[in-house]
Amino acid sequence: MDLSRRRFLQAAVLTAAAAGATAACGGGSASSGSKDSKNLTFWYWAGGLSDKVVADAKTHFSDITLKTSVVGGDFKTKLLTGLRAAQTAPDITGIKGEDIASFLPNANRFVDLNTVGAKKLTPDYLAWKLKQATTQDGKLIGFPIDIGPCATFYREDLFAKAGLPTDPVKVSAELSTWDDYFKVGVELHKAVPKTYLVNNIGSVFSMIVGQGTRRFIDEDNTFIGDQDHIRTAWTTAVKPYTLGIDAKINDNTWNAAIGNGTLGTELGAAWHALDISNAAPGTKGQWRVASLPGGASNLGGSFLAIPATSGNPEEAFKIISWILSPENQARGFTDAALFPTAPAAYKLPALTGGDAFFGGQKTIEIFGPAAEKIPAAYEAPADAAVSAPYYAELTSIEAKGKDPDQAWKDAVSQAKQIAQRQGVK
Amino acid sequence: MNGMNRTRLRGLGVHVILMAGVVISVFPFYWIVVMATNTSQDIYRYPPKLWFGDNLLTNLRHLFARMDFFGSLANTMIVAVCTTVLVLFFDSLAAFAFAKYEFPGKKFFFGVLLSMYILPTQLAIIPQYEIMVQLGWLGTLKALVVPAAANAFGIFWMRQYTSTSVPDELLDAARIEGAGFFRQYWHVVLPCVRPALAFLGIYTFIGAWNDYILPLVMLVNPDKLTLQVALAQLYAGHSTDYSMVMSGVLLSVIPLVLVFTFFARGFIADATKGALR
Amino acid sequence: MSSSPVAGPAPTGPTSGPGTGPLGQAAPDPSRGPGRRAPRIRPVSAGPRPGPRRRVLRHWPQYLAISPYYLLFSVFMLFPVLYTVYLAFQKWDGIGEMQFVGFQQFRFLWDDPVFWMSIRNTLVIWVLSTVPMLFMALVLAVLVNSTKRFTAFYRVCLFIPSITSLVAIAIFFGAVFSNNFGLINAILRGLHLSAVPWMSNEWTIKLVIATLMTWQWTGYNAIIYLAGLQAIPSELYEAARMDGAGPVRIFFSITIPLLRPIILFTVVISTVTGLQSFTEPQVLFGSDAATNPNSGGPGQAGLTTLLYFYHQAFDNNDFGYGAAIVWAFFLLILLIVLVNWRLVQRKERRP
């Protein structure tokens, strides 16, 4: 319990010395330190890339020491704070699809990839996806990792139990509109009472919004979140709640629900397959993929970018383009369900083969056509922030039983305020 | 006889209620061990397993594969130890000046100490963050240690103790022998205030160990996290694998609780004295 | 609660009884140390009064001794707090140029339903936790005080929650109250009751957070009350018993009034820390999704004001708005503490 005086002094002196030394080193590294051209730091998030491809990149670029970090928590927050100072910024970073628009106003924080060799590669990649990462004056700040063509994942075994069609082609035909989809959900829930159609109505809303060409803010920086296209999406999304086929899951119990048959279907992008197989490895073979009701939609799909402070942008882009080559994208599809952004990859065996988790189904038959039909929508920098109240209010309906019409009014008025705060007209 | 029984019965009732309180206080630690030693399937199952399993090593293997546990542990240790040593040194020195000396402005300085004690840290956190950006300290452990070294409570606490427990005769004697301020501090004050330093040390150490918001904001570099931030991120990203996350919780909580139980009696007495002052 | 591990054994004066002077001038403490109170030493203060400058200079060791704290404090606390005021009048994304916007941020704040909801959430959680916490703490303290056996054991066990990492405990509560596979719902099922969706209902979310805080701080407050109870001279009790007062009467007419300063202290501390809840909802409802519209859980039921502040400042990079939120909130805390203080003090004045 007692501290000896001598030991206390030693500790104090050591600490002071250490603090001084680290301060000196820290000061040094601020200017030069980690910003050398041979040691590159690389941030992404769990499941954001194929870990195998990243590992291969380390050996393939043997003259570069590539230090990868799988960043946990809120990636955008980490990246924003990291970018503030040269010595904390990574040399290569992932950017999530829903965040890319919010980074465009600060494009000067990133290397324009067209200046380091992206120009001659862009024809091989999906134009609409590249456009998401392009500023109005033509700077390209991100190179696309994947896209998120959406589909309906469904439990074949539960569909069979309910006497519904089970074949993906038939199911796709059966689910051509949202109302058809909800009708199937009612039948499913009647036959298997513990099974619900959707995990929450926010997911339905985001799918429907993604099916349109207009979102919450238009190209003139005007708020359009109170207009018919959003209102229709809202009304449609609330239907499963009123029909009693909404599981109302808004927390981590999704993980259990997906495995224990609470959820009969799951709406999601191609990469969502990884979430499902991770959360419920026991349901292998029971899931199938059908096309999304009401048309194609995109959700997410990420980018790789090079912060302006990067020690070696040329080499960094070589690494990016290697990781995102069609061949490696095909591996990314196998390992991490990342749907390629280079159409050349769609013909490779990794994509055309069957997926054991989906009972051997060739999922490209669903995702491929969906990818081609994705509408190119304008996503404003403030889009994600402005859309937040809609999701919060939809959850309020589920959590508090709030009246949907009141929730709509509140969502719109809050969204307008946020838009005003963000400088939207 | 009857009255005796009633008293005894009442005594028993008191202990039953108190034991219930103890069980509630301690139960989470038991349950953390249960979850950490079983598989996630055992935890999800109904009825759940109520006793320790043998899956701890597997859980730990998964844990170490998903997070740099020992790196985070080392960072946490560095922050907690450095903060503690700096606080002990700065605060005991300042407390000596406040307790045993008169100097112009003393009242003012002490008053500032008092009034600023109530400012919540969150009020300062945005500019603190900007300062760290400017100093180039963002993402380093210095960003946590240096601000935490200014600890008003420690000065209060040490001043209180110094003024009552350091005999003025000893200081006078040292002064007659020609000892200046710092020699008095070193040879007279420090030996006398060791018990108070021990309490302040444990208190500061636990505080630094458990701190969350400052590391959450300052440690942007994913390779340099403290245990608390790393655990919270692990939980956010892998909430399915409860048993794995719980093995990390177990490792992060148990050492501190053991150390505390070891020092507990003196610490609790000091803590309440501090509160009652 | 805030980052302080042991809800700050506050050294300051709210409880200064008659024995403690203003600015906490120490009462002699017979329990430790030689404790002889000699007059304050004024080194070399005899002789003619020197000029003010020389007086300051002569005390350089004292100024040097207190300088580390005041230097660090000015740079990392005082300046930032003032700068936060400045920021509240700017629009700033942390990267681009700052833009002066006058009172606009406060106008937004006034009209922002989410801000007011976060205040409501914070207050509800605070009441749900503080009232049972302090009540149970008082009961536990009286019980421990009434017995002579195992008291050391009780004290240690009751104190342990307060030194436990909040992150670890939040994760634990997340697991135990989980809707689908939590222990609590398993117990309910065992009792043939229907499971409660703890983590998705507006009220149960607040209840879970409040339970967490109650679990963590009840024992700590009990230990503080216990110390206060032990300071009450036993003659008072004996005299009351001689007068024929029963235990309940004694509790309300002797224990409670004499404990009042300590109760005031625990109320103030629980208010300051309870209103600053941040880690609990942040860990419980954190996610690795880039945009998390449901920050603070389903229906934002666990969105406390500090969590909202954190999201606006560090997720949305709206630093000006964040600064406005945190300052408005600080003033609110101050107001509530003052009201508390006045309420308890007024009662104290009553005969």
Q: Whole-angstrom Cα distance, residue A109 to residue C63?
A: 45
Strands A39-44 and A65-70: parallel
Query: How many Cβ pairs closer than 8 A exist between chain A and C?
Result: 119
Provide the b/e sequence for C294-309 (b: ≥16 CB within 10 Å). Answer: bbbbbbbbbbbbbbbb
| A204/A277 same-domain check | yes
Residue of chain A whose Cα is closest to the Cα of C95: A84
Interface-testing mutation among A250, A254, A383, with chain C (most C C-beta atoms within 10 A): A250
Which residue, among A2, A29, A67, A84, would best test binding to B if mutated, counting the most B CBs under 10 Å from its CB? A84
Q: Which stretch, A343-352, A407-416, C229-238, C315-324, has highest mean pLDDT?
A: A407-416
Average pLDDT over residues C2-21: 36
Radius of gyration from C-alpha coordinates of chain C: 25
Per-residue pLDDT of B10-43, as tens digits, reads 778 889 999 999 999 999 999 999 989 988 777 7
* pLDDT tens for the 277 residues of chain B, in order: 555 677 777 778 889 999 999 999 999 999 999 989 988 777 777 777 788 888 888 889 988 888 889 999 999 999 999 999 999 999 999 999 999 988 888 888 888 887 766 677 788 999 998 888 888 888 889 999 999 998 888 898 899 889 888 889 999 999 998 888 999 999 899 988 888 888 888 889 988 999 998 998 888 877 789 999 999 888 876 666 788 889 999 999 887 887 787 777 677 777 666 655 4
CA of C109 vs chain A CAs: smallest distance (Å): 10
Cis peptide, bond prior to residue B47, ω within 30 of zero: yes
Give me the residue from C2, C12, C80 closest to B117, CB to CB. C12
User: Which residue, C116, C155, C117, C164, is CA-closest to C137?
Assistant: C155
pLDDT of residue A116: 92
Mean pLDDT, residues C268-289 = 81
Beta-carbon contacts below 8 Å between B and C = 359
- Contact across the interface for C41 and B18, Cβ inside 8 Å: no
Which residues of C are less than 8 Å from B194 in CB distance?
none
**According to the model, what pLDDT value does residue A12 have?**
46
SS3 assignment, position C21: coil
Q: Would you say residue C311 has pLDDT above 60?
A: yes
State yes or no: pLDDT of C194 exceeds 90: no
Chain C residues lying within 8 Å of A109, measured CB to CB: 95
- Give how far A82 is from chain B: nearest CA, Å: 6
- Cβ–Cβ contacts within 10 Å for residue C256, how many? 13
- Radius of gyration over alpha carbons of chain A, in Å? 24
B121 touches chain C (CB under 8 A): yes
* CATH number of the domain located at residue range(s) B59-276 in this protein: 1.10.3720.10
Residue A293 lies in a domain: yes
Q: Which residues of chain A have pLDDT under 50?
A: 1-3, 8-9, 11-34
* CATH, residue A272: 3.40.190.10
Domain end position, chosen among A347, A380, A410 = A347
**For position C293, what pLDDT does the model report?**
56
Can you list the domains of chain C with their CATH numbers? Answer: 106-349 (1.10.3720.10)
Chain C touched by A398 (CB under 8 Å): yes
Could you tell me which residues of chain C have a Cβ less than 8 Å from any Cβ in chain A?
91, 93-96, 108, 111-114, 174, 178-181, 197, 199-202, 285-294, 297-301, 314-318, 321
Phi, psi of A42, deg, nearest 5 = -140, 115
**Per-residue model confidence (pLDDT) at position B243:** 86
Query: Among A315, A347, A379, which residue terminates a domain?
Result: A347
**C200 → chain A, closest CA residue:** A399
A14 assigned to some structural domain: no
Using CA atoms, how far residue B262 sits from A1, B33, B265, in Å, is 10, 20, 8
Say if CB C225 and CB C203 are below 8 A apart. no
Q: Is A30 on the interface with B (CB under 8 A)?
A: yes
Residue pair A36/B150 in contact by the 8 Å Cβ criterion: no
Q: Tell me the chain B residues in contact with residue A87 when contact means C-beta distances shorter than 8 Å.
A: 136, 138-139
Question: What is residue A252's predicted lDDT score, i.e. its pLDDT?
Answer: 67
A378 lies in which domain range? Answer: 150-297+363-421
Residues A95 and A197 in one domain: no
CA distance B128 to B237: 28
C99 SS3 class: strand
Better-scored residue on pLDDT, C26 or C235: C235
Residue A163 CB neighbour total at 10 angstroms? 10
- Assess if residue A267 is contained within a domain: yes
In a domain, A15, yes or no: no
Q: List all residues of chain C from 145 to 164 with a beta carbon under 8 Å from chain B.
A: 146-147, 149-150, 152-161, 163-164
pLDDT digits (tens, 9 = 90+) for C105-127: 999 899 888 899 999 999 999 99
Residue C6 has pLDDT above 70, yes or no: no
Are residues B216 and B38 in contact, defined by beta-carbon separation less than 8 angstroms? no
Q: Edge-to-edge strand order for the sheet containing A92-95?
A: A65-70, A39-44, A92-95, A303-305, A143-144
Residue finishing a domain among A285, A315, A347: A347
Q: What is the ipTM of this complex?
A: 0.87
Q: In this structure, are A236 and A252 located in the same domain?
A: yes
Q: How many domains does chain A have?
A: 2
pLDDT at B80: 92
Contact C13, B213 (CB under 8 A): no
Q: How many CB atoms lie within 10 A of CB A262?
A: 17
- Helices B2-37, C151-163: inter-axial angle, 10-degree rounding: 30
Rounding to the nearest 10 degrees, give the CA dihedral for residues B169, B170, B175, B176: 70
A46 touches chain B (CB under 8 A): yes
The pLDDT value given to residue B240: 64
Residue A23 lies in a domain: no
Q: Hunting for tokens 């936790």 — which residue is that?
A: C129
With a CB cutoff of 8 Å and minimum separation 6, the contacts of A27 are B136
The confidence band for C346, taking pLDDT boundaries of 50, 70 and 90, is low
pLDDT at C218: 93
pLDDT for residue B81:
92
Question: Are A65 and A120 within one domain?
Answer: yes
| pLDDT surpassing 70 at residue C351 | no
Looking at the DSSP bridge assignments, the partners of residue B277 are none
Question: Nearest residue of A to residue C180 by CA position?
Answer: A253
> Residue B186 has what DSSP assignment?
I
Query: Could you say which of B141, B146, B220 has the minimum Cβ distance to residue A88?
Result: B220
Q: How close A69 gets to chain B, by Cα (Å)? A: 6
- Rounded Cα distance between B250 and C317, Å, is 35
Q: Are residues A308 and A372 in the same domain?
A: no
Confidence (pLDDT) at B40:
78
The CA–CA distances, whole Å, from A412 to A204, A240, C81, C228, C305 equal: 18, 21, 34, 54, 22
Token duo for residue A253: 């119990």
Please count the other Cβ atoms lying within 10 Å of the Cβ belonging to residue C86. 13
Give which of C133, C312, C313 is closest to C223, Cα–Cα.
C133
What lies within 8 Å, CB to CB, of A268 at 6+ separation is A150, A151, A153, A203, A275, A276, A299
Per-residue pLDDT band for C26 (boundaries 50, 70, 90) equals: very low
* Best of B221, B234, B243 to mutate (most A CBs within 10 Å, chain A): B221
Q: Report chain C's mean pLDDT, rounded to a whole number.
A: 79
Alpha-carbon gap: B191 to the closest alpha carbon of chain C (Å) = 12
Rounded distance, CA C232 to CA C240, Å? 13
pLDDT at A10: 53
Of residues A27, A67, A252, nearest to B239 (C-beta): A252
Query: In the prediction, which pLDDT does C47 show?
Result: 44
> What does the block give as tokens for B110?
């002490």
A 90-149 near C (Cβ less than 8 A): 96, 98-99, 105-106, 109
CA distance C114 to C106: 14
Instruction: Give the residue extent of every domain in chain B.
Output: 2-54, 59-276
Predicted local confidence at residue B248, as pLDDT: 92
Nearest chain C residue to B229, by CA: C167
Residues of chain A contacting residue C200, judged by C-beta atoms under 8 Å apart: 248-251, 253, 398-399
